[in-house]
Amino acid sequence: MGGHRRPEDTVRSAAAWAVERTLASLAPSSVYLESALAKCQPLDRPLMRELVLGTLRWLRRLDDVVARAANRKFQSIEPALQTILRVGTYQLLFLDRVPAHAAVHEAVAEATRRTHRGGGSFTNAVLRRIGRSPRLEDWPVRATDPVEKLAIETSHPTFLVTRWLAQFGEQATHELLAANNRPKPMPLLTFRDRGGREPLAEALIDQGFDVEPSKLAPDGLVVRRGNPLETKSYQDGVFYLQDEASQAAALIPPPRAGETILDAATAPGGKAFAMLASEPAAKLTLADVSFDRVVGRVRSNLERLGRHVPLLVADAGAPALATTFDRVVLDLPCSGTGTLRKHPELKWRIQPSEIGRLARQSRRLLEGAAPLVRPGGLLVAITCSLEPEENDAVVAAFLADRADFELLDLADRLSFPLEQWIAGRGRWQILPADHHDGFTLHVLMRKGAPP
């Protein structure tokens, strides 16, 4: 295998490149995955996506298996070989459509190219050993501490598993860990004023897609097979790609016709689009602190969707606006622990000291946005985090200083299925499950009669 061979020349080596770059950077996995996909043949793209995201999801368990097969600590393995072994092991243990000999041969060739003949021989020995026992149950985790063992088995940081067991209990934590490791289908948001989800579902099914209605989001569809982003319906702005739970969170409580709503940290616009999908007669204004995001992603999404709404560059923590709204929606900065299924690389970046690190910034945003809520209006705080320091603690500190706000009772304001996730007065939380991410939401009302 010549020394001039580029990483993108094969699917497996390109996948290893994408995993390696993701772990070495702070960029989302999608950045390097999309770069690798662009260099692949269309038929190879599903395998590429599976290799990259699957390896990142199961990284810790893969490292444990490789260490066992190599009979040494994983970190003592030559760094240039580590990701090659991870991707190869993922293929052997999780993908039955890729012949084992092909996976081993490709990994050995890449290892030799990156290092030396000895690196290729080592990779060959390790992967052949794993290939002789190509099931996870053939490599039971040997850790004796039950929490550590569970964390390795489900490929999560131990500190997160410890936190979630204390917060959610054993059964819910096991379900959460399993959900984080399932591949995610493609969720779509449809628009009632563009026909809703039934006509789009029929059109996609006629084109050979595997589609079903969301059980969580009333305007959502779930695509299990096929890429709808390559269809004319996408180009025509008939749908928007958005997680089901994110769609649902935008409807807590459901928007009303004529309601004035400020989405104060909107980029890329998903919550606003979900509100418009549910109630096209709601009067939305979109704002974000980043000029580049506003004139880039948000504007391009609005143009594709054919939506004409006011769009502002404004800091939610110090907005220069002279009007008030019936509702102000804030997506607060957080660690993203509810989105590990979609962003598996976050599992290996989040540190215990970082949980709650952004709480001060979140508090500033809440305090800045509060004057924009009219008396009787709502202030809605949303995060894709499951951690109380980034949710309950932030809201409690805000309420301690703002006697003119109180948590809103959601009991009579939500219908099935959204009512199932009311988690206290003014609090709504859904954990990752089925096809969706996890979100935490607080709804506060400004006291006083509306004008």
Closest CA to 266 of 334, 314, 213: 314
- State how far the Cα of 240 lies from the Cα of 316, in Å rounded to an integer: 25
- State how far the Cα of 326 lies from the Cα of 295, in Å rounded to an integer: 26
DSSP 422: B
- Burial class of residue 110 in the structure, from the number of CB atoms within 10 Å of its CB (0-12 exposed, 13-18 middle, 19+ buried): buried
- State how far the Cα of 225 lies from the Cα of 227, in Å rounded to an integer: 7
40 is catalytic: no
Handedness of CA 420, 421, 422, 424 (dihedral sign): positive
Residues in CB range of 115: below 8 A, 6 or more apart:
78, 80, 81
- State how far the Cα of 257 lies from the Cα of 269, in Å rounded to an integer: 19
Handedness of CA 151, 222, 31, 18 (dihedral sign): positive
Q: Which of 384, 386, 414, 430 is catalytic?
A: 384
- State how far the Cα of 127 lies from the Cα of 134, in Å rounded to an integer: 10
**Cβ(209)–Cβ(221) below 8 Å:** no
Can you say how many angstroms the Cα of residue 88 is from the centroid of all Cα atoms in its chain?
25
**Cβ(381)–Cβ(215) below 8 Å:** no
Tell me the C-alpha to C-alpha distance, in Å, between residue 390 and each of 38, 170, 329: 36, 22, 16
**Cβ(131)–Cβ(69) below 8 Å:** no
> Per the structure block, which two tokens stand in for 396?
């409690």
The number of beta carbons lying within 10 Å of the beta carbon of residue 96 is 10
Tell me the C-alpha to C-alpha distance, in Å, between residue 42 and each of 10, 46, 47, 98, 261: 13, 8, 10, 17, 41
Catalogue the E-assigned strands of 143-282.
Answer: 186-190, 210-213, 220-225, 239-241, 260-263
Catalytic residues: 384
